[in-house]
């Protein structure tokens, strides 16, 4: 539901190479993160939507963090499509023919996860999480227990969008151009999540965020938890 959620994007604060000293630190090639902060800015109207910010500190041994528009093909493609023996796409219409009669029906929630409507047909697909490199999951506390809040399925029968996203290549040379040279990297990332109704959805709910990042070699970091919070308690002007 694009009127409710927009994909977040990343602000880079203090990201830096750590090669200036004679003995640069040795970090594992798998990224590691630690939680830094979370804060909220309420929107004034439809032109200035609500915004939730979460920041993490990161370290990576070979600096392969970030994706740009050149990383849109396998293994970074957004969706996986599947073909039949004749090379054509498996579509919703194929549900009438074995062995494709076990495909899910085109209805909520499968319409959110498993089908792509193009100009000519409805194609069976699966999501590829390797398209993203930052993953933010929301949890809401009810009756003392935290439950996962699935943005994709939160507005039936419409499909929402998750706050999984992409941050740009962080490894930069002296001219601030992207660099693919392997070297240790550390800094802080602040991820901005924009939504037209974040405040009206959660009101006085107690929330928690889980955050994870991934490098271009598909190494996943550890997952960190935010502190629990209510939006009014972390609101900034």
CATH number of the domain that residue 207 is part of: 2.60.40
Instruction: For residues 224 and 187, state if they share a domain.
Output: yes
Do 162 and 205 belong together in one domain?
yes
Total domains, the chain = 2
Looking at the structure, do residues 57 and 30 belong to the same domain, yes or no? Answer: yes
Residue 178's pLDDT is: 80
Per-residue pLDDT, averaged over 163-178, amounts to 86
Domain check: are 14 and 49 in the same one?
yes
Note whether 108 and 184 are same-domain residues: no
Q: What is the pLDDT of residue 175?
A: 76
Contact yes or no for 38/228 (Cβ under 8 A): no
Name the most confidently modeled range: 25-39, 162-176, 177-191: 25-39
Specify whether 228 is located in the same domain as 214: yes
Examine the domain organization and report whether 153 and 111 are in the same domain.
Answer: no
pLDDT band at 1 (very low <50, low <70, confident <90, very high): very low
Over residues 77-87, the mean pLDDT reads: 95
Q: What is the pLDDT of residue 188?
A: 92
What's the pLDDT score for residue 172? 80
- In this predicted model, which residue has the larger pLDDT, 154 or 13? 154
Residue 4 lies in a domain: no
Same domain, residue pair 208 and 97: no
* Structure token digits, residue 237: 């002007």
**Residues 175 and 160 grouped into a single domain:** yes
Q: How large a percentage of the chain has pLDDT more than 90?
A: 76
Residue 2 buriedness (CB in 10 A; 0-12 / 13-18 / 19+): exposed
When pLDDT is averaged across residues 208-224 and rounded to a whole number, the result is 98
Distance CA 233, CA 237 (A): 12
Range of the domain at 98: 79-127
Give the whole-angstrom CA distance, residue 92 versus residue 138.
32
Position 9 scores a pLDDT of: 52
Q: For residues 115 and 228, state if they share a domain.
A: no
On average, the pLDDT of the chain sits at: 89
Report pLDDT digits (tens) over 15-71: 555 544 557 778 999 999 999 999 999 998 767 889 999 999 999 999 999 999 999
Bridge partners, residue 20, by sequence: none
100-147: per-residue pLDDT in tens? 999 999 999 999 999 999 888 999 999 999 999 999 999 999 999 999
Which of left, alpha, beta for 133 (phi over 0: left; psi -120 to 50: alpha)?
alpha
């Amino acid at each position: 539901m694009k009127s409710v959620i927009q994909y977040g994007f990343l602000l880079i604060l203090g990201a830096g190479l750590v090669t200036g000293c004679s003995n640069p630190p040795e970090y594992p090639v798998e990224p590691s993160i630690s939680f830094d902060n979370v804060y909220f800015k309420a929107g004034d109207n439809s032109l200035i939507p609500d915004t939730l910010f979460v920041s993490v500190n990161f370290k990576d041994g070979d600096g392969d963090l970030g994706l740009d528009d050149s990383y849109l093909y396998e293994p970074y493609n957004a969706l996986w499509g599947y073909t039949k023996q004749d090379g054509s796409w498996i579509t919703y219409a194929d549900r009438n023919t074995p062995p494709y009669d076990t495909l899910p029906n085109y209805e909520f929630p499968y319409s959110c996860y498993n089908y792509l409507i193009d100009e000519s047909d409805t194609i069976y697909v699966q999501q590829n999480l390797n398209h993203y490199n930052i993953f933010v999951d929301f949890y809401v506390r009810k009756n003392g227990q935290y439950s996962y809040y699935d943005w994709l399925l939160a507005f039936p029968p419409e499909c929402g969008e998750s706050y999984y996203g992409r941050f740009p290549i962080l490894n930069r040379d002296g001219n601030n151009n992207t660099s693919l040279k392997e070297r240790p990297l550390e800094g802080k990332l602040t991820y901005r999540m924009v939504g037209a109704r974040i405040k009206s959805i959660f009101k006085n709910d107690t929330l928690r965020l889980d955050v994870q990042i991934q490098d271009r070699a598909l190494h996943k970091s550890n997952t960190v938890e935010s502190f629990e919070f209510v939006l009014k308690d972390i609101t900034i002007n």
